[in-house]
Chain A
Amino acid sequence: MITQDYLLLCIGMGLVTYVPRWAPLAALSQRSLPRWLEEWLDLIPAAILSALIVPALLTAGEPRQLTLWNNDLLVAAPVFLFALRTRSLGGTVVLGMALYWLAGKVLG
Chain B
Amino acid sequence: MTERPSENNTPTILNDGFRAAWPICVGYVPIGLAFGVLAQKAGLSALAVGLMSALVFAGSSQFIAVAMLGAGAGIAAIVATTFAVNLRHLLMSSALSVHLKGVRRRWLTLFAYGITDESFALNLVRFREGGWDWRRALAVNHVTNAAWVTSTVAGALGGALIPAHAFGIDYALMGMFLCLLVYQLRGRIYVLTALIAGAAAVAISLMIPGNSYIVAASVIAATAGLFIRRRWPRLTRERGSP
Contact = CB atoms under 8 A, between A and B. Distances in A.
26 contacts: A1-B48, A2-B48, A9-B69, A16-B83, A20-B90, A21-B86, A22-B93, A22-B109, A28-B97, A38-B98, A42-B98, A45-B125, A46-B185, A47-B221, A47-B222, A49-B180, A52-B117, A52-B214, A54-B201, A59-B206, A76-B174, A79-B175, A83-B179, A88-B179, A93-B23, A93-B27
A92 B121 contact: no
Contact of A43 (B44, B115, B175, B189): B189
Interface residues of A, number: 79
Nearest to B98: A41
Interface of B: 22-23, 26-27, 44-45, 47-48, 51-52, 55-58, 61-62, 65, 69, 75, 78-80, 82-83, 86-98, 100-103, 105, 108-109, 111-113, 115, 117, 120-121, 124-125, 165, 167-172, 174-185, 189-191, 193-202, 205-206, 209, 213-214, 217-219, 221-223, 225-226, 229, 242
Interface string A13-39: 110111011111111111011001011
A97 B167 contact: yes
Interface in A53-89: 53-59, 62-66, 72, 75-76, 79-80, 83-84, 87-89
Given A51-B197, A58-B202, A64-B205, A28 B94 contact: yes
Contacts of B98: 28-29, 33, 38, 41-42
Nearest to A8: B75
B206 A64 contact: yes
Given A43-B221, A43-B222, A50 B108 contact: no
A10 B61 contact: no
A21 B92 CA distance: 8
Nearest to A54: B198
Contact of A97 (B90, B101, B102, B168): B168
Contacts of A52: 117, 177, 201, 214
Contacts of B48: 1-2, 6
Contact of B218 (A48, A64, A97, A98): A48
